[in-house]
Every structure is written in structure tokens, then in C-alpha cells.
Structure 1
């Protein structure tokens, strides 16, 4: 056998994955960067340099979109971490119906995001929705969940948490079950209670799971679009407009080059926020 071929033999198995990655990620990304510098339609394009980026940053709603996107990402990420950890602890306990509850909690992640958004937009209707109807039955006047600019973004974020907490829970279940039994046995010998087990064993030793949930949930929150669009289309006003919804409105208006520049900016923003966070979390994990 040729010595060179023998040394590189194992790398040939990576070729199919490399080709797929090149075609569905590298090529579209490169084309997006190029077309963000053009004014283009489906059959023509004209190079205009950085004009699209200048126009995008001149958008009146952009500052609101950036603020809403960051708030949305932090709220959904934080709640998924906390609820995922608590549910992970509950569903790794000796609860008899834990397997059934695991299925129930994971089920929303299997449902279409658009379907979830439409369903909750009807449930949150101020006068006919089941949520406010139930509150009225017990003498409580429910708010206009999606029509009040003060709570609309939080309402959508809570629906996002309801749909996505199942993934976080599964990750935490795997992390908690991977903790060696010797730690639990040592705690029992020392006379530790359930709180000591949670705080001194589960929380620190499930940090890899926590880091994974934080990264996935934070990036997902920054890129979120479909749920917001299905529930509010960015309204009322600009109260729930995220960067992705602003970009979509530009596509709807036929400003393809401008919208492509917005996608490039969103890509750079997500990268600029996620990479330092990933590096910091990994360093903390190693220090642990």
C-alpha cells in the first residue's frame, strides 16, 4: 500500500461530510456575504458596496429590534436553564411516573413552532382566549397578553420556554445520570439531605449540561423568528420586533440586498456574542 495513502486513509471517510458541509454552509455563507454588497433581484444584481449595511443601520426600528432580541435571548435562556435543571432533578428522582412525565415535557418540542404560535395566539386572545376566560371564572381580569406593549415580548418568550424546555430537561437528565454514584454514597455517609445533594453535587457536576443548555438556548433566542412571527408579526408596534423579523419584513418589501446585509449582521452579532460566552463557559468548566 502506498505510504501516503496509508497515512491519509482514515481522512477519506470525512470527505462525504466535508462535501455536504461545504455545499450547505460554506457556499451559502460566502454567497450571502457577496450579495449583501449588491442590489439584487432573482435575475439580476448590481454591486453597491457597503450601501446596504448603511441603510440597514439607518432602520428606525433597528435599535428596538436589537434590544428586544437581547432581552428575549436572556429571558428564554435563563428560564430554560432554571426550569430544565429543576425538571431534570425531578425526573431523575424515584418518582413513579417519571417516564410518563419525561414524555409529556418533551412532547412540545416535537410540535411545529408555527402551530404552537397560532395555538397560543388564540389561547391568549384578550376576550375569547381560554387563558383569560379561565381567569375570569375565578374573578381575575386577564391582560391583553399579545396586545399590551409592556408584556407582549414576555408572553412570547414564555411560550418559547414552554416549547423548548423539553430539550434542556433531556440534556440535564443525561448530565445528572452521568454523575458517579460514589458522590451520592459519600453524601449519605456524611448525613447530607436533599438540598445538600442538589447544591453540592448536582449543580456543580452537571455544569457541562448547563453550559450546553446556555449556548443552545442563547443562540436560539438570538436567532428566533418563527414563533414571534406566528404570534405577533413583531407587533403591537415594534414591541416584539426582533432582528430576524425586521430582516423578514425587508424581504417582504423586495429589498433583497438590504435583507441579506441584515442576515450577515445577525450572523456576526450571534458569533460575536456566542464565541466569548462559549470560551468563558468552557474555561469555567475546566477550572471546576
Structure 2
């Protein structure tokens, strides 16, 4: 087979995926940037330049939305890293029914986000919810989880962690199982204990897994919308409003160009935060 035939044969496999990627991702992305500069409806559009961006930054709730989004992303990311690592260590240790426990922890990841949000909003009801009922049974008074401004955003973030920590755990399990046994044998010869194994071997050598969990969780937190909307719709007030929920409210109001500009801003914000974080984590990554 000649070099030209080999190259043609290779491109023949790449071309279908490239076409799908171009149609589904590249074209909508370019169109989003264009329509963010217009006032458009389903039947017509008018070019208005940067007016949508100016109007979006004048949105009264935008400052709160940016702050809530950053807090939400950091809290969910940190908790998924910490809990995922601890569960990963536990589920790679010598315990019975590891396969079953792994399935149980990963199961919430498979559930519909909307269904999870609706279920937990009922469970967190201040008077009829099962969570406060359980607290009352042990003599404690539970708060209004989703109606109290001090608890609402954290409550939604904890539900997000419950749903997504299984995926982080699977990544950590793969990272921990990839560590060569020679490291554990050397530690045992030196008289190391379980804490030394965790701190001196598992934590540094599972760094690639940690980097993956940080990046995926942080980006997911910045883009989060469906769980927040299902549980609080941004309330009480603007307490749980994220950038994505502000954008959705603009769509609901029929301000399609303004909402498209918000999506472009969200894309730029995620890129501006995620890419430097990705480069920093990769630069400091520990290699085996």
C-alpha cells in the first residue's frame, strides 16, 4: 500500500467524526458568536453590535450570579476531590463487597439531574421533608434548607456533590490501582504505616486523577444550571442564581440575543478560568 493510499485510508476513518464535530460544535459556536451581536427572533434578526454585552453586564443580578457561580464551583470541586479520594482509598482497600459498594456510590451519577433536584427539594422541605423529620426524631431542629438565604446555595452544592462524587471516586480508583506495588513494598520494608501509605504514596502518585477531578468538577460547577433550577429556580431572591440561570431567565423573557451574549460570556469565563488551571496542574503533575 502506497503512502498516499495509507493517508487516504486514515482520513476515511477520521472524516465522519470530523464532519459530526464540525456540524454539532464548530457551526453552533460560530453562530452563537454572531447572534450575540444581534437582536434576533426565530424569524428575523438585526445587527446591534456590542449592545447585548453592555446590557448583560448591566443586569442587576449579574454580580451576585458571578459570585454564586464561583462559590458553587469551588465548594463542589473541593468536596468532590476530598470525598472522592477518601472513597477511592476505601474502595481499593481489602474490604468485602467492594464491587457492590462501588456500584452503590456510582449509581447517583446515572440518575437524571432534574429528578434528583425535585426529589431533594421535597426531602429538604422545612416542615414535611424527611431530612428535618429525621433531625426532629433525635431532638434537633432543622433549618429551611432551600428557603434560608444562609443555607440555600450550600444545600444545592451538597446535592451536587452527592450526585457527582461517584464519578470522582471511579477516577480515583483507577488512579490508585495504577500505582505500582513496589512503592507499597518499599514502604512496608521501611516500617511505614497506613497514614504514610496514604500521604506519601497515594496522594502524590494519584495526582493525575486529582487533576482530572479538579478540572471536570470545576468546569461542571461553573456551567451548572439544571440542578439549581430544579431545586430553587435561583431563589430565595437571587441567593442561588448562577450565571447559567440568569441566562435562562433572559431566554424565558424572549431576549434571545441578550441570552446568547450571556452564553458567550459564560464560555469566555469558563475558558479564562479553566485553561490556566489546567496548565498549572499539568505543569506540577507528578509522573511515575
Moved more, 231-240 or 134-143: 134-143
Q: Give 3-state SS (helix, strand or coil) of 1:145's partner.
A: coil
Map of 2:156 onto structure 1? 156
Map of 2:235 onto structure 1? 235
CA displacement at 1:5 relative to structure 2? 3.8
Q: Give 3-state SS (helix, strand or coil) of 1:236's partner.
A: coil
Deviating 4+ runs (over 4 angstroms) = none
Q: Give 3-state SS (helix, strand or coil) of 1:46's partner.
A: strand
Question: For 1:61 and 1:287, how far apart are their aligned partners in 2?
Answer: 44
Map of 1:249 onto structure 2? 249
Aligned residues: 288
CA displacement at 1:6 relative to structure 2? 3.5
Q: 1:135 to 1:238 in 2, by over 3 A?
A: same
Map of 1:175 onto structure 2? 175
Question: For 2:286 and 2:155, how far apart are their aligned partners in 1?
Answer: 37
Map of 1:220 onto structure 2? 220
Question: For 2:244 and 2:178, how far apart are their aligned partners in 1?
Answer: 37
Q: Give 3-state SS (helix, strand or coil) of 1:285's partner.
A: coil
Question: For 1:61 and 1:127, how far apart are their aligned partners in 2?
Answer: 30
Map of 1:113 onto structure 2? 113
> 8 Å contact 2:208–2:286 — kept in the other structure?
no
Deviations 1:8-60 (A, max 9, x none): 54233211111111011000000000000000000110010000000000000
CA displacement at 1:3 relative to structure 2? 4.3
Map of 1:122 onto structure 2? 122
Map of 2:281 onto structure 1? 281
Q: Give 3-state SS (helix, strand or coil) of 1:186's partner.
A: helix
Question: For 1:155 and 1:177, how far apart are their aligned partners in 2?
Answer: 33
User: Taking structure 2 as the reference length, what is the TM-score of the superposition?
Assistant: 0.98
Question: For 1:10 and 1:191, how far apart are their aligned partners in 2?
Answer: 54
Unaligned residue ranges in structure 2 (runs of 5+): none
Alignment partner of 1:44 is 2:33? no
Map of 1:93 onto structure 2? 93
Map of 2:133 onto structure 1? 133
Question: For 1:218 and 1:74, how far apart are their aligned partners in 2?
Answer: 7
Q: Give 3-state SS (helix, strand or coil) of 1:234's partner.
A: coil
Q: Give 3-state SS (helix, strand or coil) of 1:127's partner.
A: coil
Question: For 2:120 and 2:7, how far apart are their aligned partners in 1?
Answer: 57
Question: For 2:286 and 2:28, how far apart are their aligned partners in 1?
Answer: 35
